[in-house]
Structure 1
Amino acid sequence: MTSRFRLGLIINPLAGLGGSVALKGSDGVAMEAIAKGAKPKAHLRMQQALEVILPYRDEVEIITASGPMGEALALQMGFHVRVVHEVGDETQAEDTQAVVKVLLNETLDLLLFAGGDGTARDIFAVAHDDMPVLGVPAGVKIHSGVYGITPHASGMVVKMLLDGELVSLMDADVMDIDEVAFREGVVKARRFGEMLVPAEPRYIQAVKMGGIESDELVLADIAAEVIESMDEELFIMGSGSTVAAVMAELNLDNTLLGVDLIKSNQLLGSDLTTVQLIEMTDELPTKLVITLIGGQGHILGRGNQQLSPQLVRRIGKENIIILATKTKLKALEGRPLIVDSGDPELDRELCGYYRLITGYHDYVMYQVANPDLD
């Protein structure tokens, strides 16, 4: 007899409580949400996922916590269940972490959990890097890339594993926002790290899904990549909101429609002129961080004329860092990026393919090619 598929199961009973009562989350306000009439739904979301694998229940052993964190639902659905951790009727984030710590001693094939970004953070805080996990979306905030696009989709991924299909594993981002600020209309996104998830693009959601909140997450991803790669050189920070996101992550004042200069995460000059930039970077290793104008594709010569041909040539093509959201790139519909430095010879020299930063450890190759220079 072959051994059963060992499925770790965690349900965060409080996940998603704040959504229906306009609290934009459940972190720290679960009791307030319940007082406002919110009803727990995480177990229903997990039920939708597990229904997909009901035909396989004799082949699955569910290893979980007592009561509302997994045991009750799994038994109700007729699965083989082994309880490895006892919890009370009222659960906290600490309970999720405690269950994960116990499950680390088990040889799981997959840890399936129902919750939101806060739950993913709690699991990430204690899980091992090599523990495969998959989230069933049950929270108000689902920005992390560790979730199925729906509960049913999460169940389909588990079914693929049970069917013996070849499913790769990938690292996916654990993201969350500051709910207190979010309730005041401010989105402050943060990337906490990565967890290992089944790499099935049909069913696993991406971090970047469009919309205002996701746009903030994309910019935070891009900023994190730039900051991680910064060294002791000078960095000229061009204009535009994408570059501004890097400055914001560094907690530095930014000239949205101007050009600033930084070194070692310190601001050396704001809204600098061409002359100032040339003088302040004279004979010093310098990199240039720029982005494109949405819809147009210009990276030089539109809104950043302070970046003179003399300065750009001295910096060198290899030291130009281009940032772009994939949304802006897709809006170009295949058109190349454009340079209009005022020096046609320099424009020709700058043509070619660049590795654009589009997220955290996420890049695309894209062409700079002025049509008028063909």
Structure 2
Amino acid sequence: MRIGVVVNPIAGLGGRVGLKGTDGKVEEARARGAEPRAPDRARRALDALFARAPETDVVTWGEPMGADVTRAAGFDPTVLGSPAGSETAAADTRAAVQAFAEEDVDLVLFVGGDGTAADVAEALAEDGVPMLGVPAGVKVYSSVFAVSPEDAAAIAATFTRVEEREVMDIDEDAYREGEVHPELRAVARVPVAENLQSSKQTGGGSVEALAEGIAEDVREGVTYVLGPGSTLAAVKRALGFEGSPLGVDVWRDGEVIVRDGTEAEILDALGAENVVVVSPIGGQGFVLGRGNPQLSPTVVRQCDLRIVASRAKLDDLGVLRVDTDDPDLDADLRGWTRVRVGRFEQRMMEIV
């Protein structure tokens, strides 16, 4: 098996500092103290791949697009080229992937988000080489990604068939203003596997009763960390304020403490008792790790987790998922949990 590995080193950089994406925001993200996410995600995937298939022949691109992290995992890769400048760009991803295809790789394993997926798919459009994503972006709408880095490794090491799946992307500037308009960018060949995420779907149905029930149950002195999405937007309105539709807001005792907060701002606002409220992404089931990286492992560990969703959304989901960048926390969260679906009603769902 020959695999081409390419890492978008800035993917997900803007997530925990509240930028909801990195397109055009790299310098601002760094100024806010953002730490790279993609290299750690890449290392997790490659460590797992080396444990399963150390004989894999790996080709990659020069730093910071894969060479060092591939060697650190134990492989002796062939480095086919390097980025053109000091800052990586989409053209570097496309150049790397085209070089991989010329080397007859069996799979391109990329680390990034939807924009990276679109670049990889464009580069492979004429070659028919399958691709597989290790999710590292803030928004991951495409169905070409494994559920986790470890799942990506397992799929890469064992797949025998491929199928066509969607590459989706959105306008990040519109996303920051609260508008979500997913656009089909490509149809790509992807390994057939169970642990691939679905394309993002838009949820429907009324959540007013659910939101009112949550508002009635708030307790004095408790800090509520309210995640993004339309369900939580209804909860925020029920609490008496218009929240950031795709950001994380912090509310306590009738007052908005933080609006559209970064990880650091959320941590500063936490009190003695804290509750984080999130809703799964429709069609995918992620409650943490997609669209809300501000809710970092450090934040989550200081809060009680509450999951809310409409019945219609849960009817389309077999299970819930988490992908927090902290495997130990993911393991702690897995298992059966209660999801609030109405003013009083709850449903048991499994986090896997």
Structure 1 residue ranges, 4+ long, deviating more than 3 angstroms after superposition: 208-212, 326-331
Please say if 1:176 is aligned against 2:169: yes
Letter paired with 1:96: T
Please say if 1:13 is aligned against 2:9: yes
Matches within 5 A, 1:93-172: 93-128=90-125, 130-161=128-159, 167-172=160-165
Matched residues in 2 for 1:199 and 1:132: separation? 10
2:224 equivalent in structure 1: none
Matched residues in 1 for 2:22 and 2:186: separation? 21
CA contact under 8 A between 1:101 and 1:126: conserved in structure 2? yes
Matched residues in 1 for 2:125 and 2:75: separation? 26
SS class of match (1:75): helix
Matched residues in 1 for 2:68 and 2:30: separation? 21
Higher helix share: 1
2:65 is aligned, of 66, 69, 74, to: 69
Distance 1:210 1:152, change over 3 A: farther
Gaps of at least 5 residues in structure 1 are 162-166, 213-325, 332-374
With the length of structure 1 as denominator, give the TM-score of the two structures: 0.53
Matched residues in 2 for 1:184 and 1:35: separation? 21
1:50 equivalent in structure 2: 46
Q: Which has the higher contact order (CA 8 A, sep 6+)?
A: 2
1:344 equivalent in structure 2: none
Cα RMSD after superposing both structures:
2.1
CA contact under 8 A between 1:57 and 1:80: conserved in structure 2? no
SS class of match (1:85): coil
Gaps of at least 5 residues in structure 2 are 205-310, 317-352
Matched residues in 1 for 2:96 and 2:16: separation? 28
Matched residues in 1 for 2:314 and 2:148: separation? 27
CA contact under 8 A between 1:17 and 1:41: conserved in structure 2? yes
Distance 1:89 1:61, change over 3 A: farther
SS class of match (1:10): strand
2:30 equivalent in structure 1: 34
Letter paired with 1:148: A
Distance 1:57 1:200, change over 3 A: closer
Matched residues in 2 for 1:24 and 1:59: separation? 38
Letter paired with 2:45: A
2:188 equivalent in structure 1: 195
SS class of match (1:104): helix
CA contact under 8 A between 1:57 and 1:78: conserved in structure 2? no
How many residues align? The count is 208
Q: Which structure has the larger Rg over C-alpha atoms?
A: 1
Please say if 1:207 is aligned against 2:199: yes
1:25 equivalent in structure 2: 21
Q: Percent identity among equivalent residues?
A: 40
Letter paired with 1:23: L
Letter paired with 2:139: K
Letter paired with 2:62: S
Letter paired with 2:73: M
With the length of structure 2 as denominator, give the TM-score of the two structures: 0.56
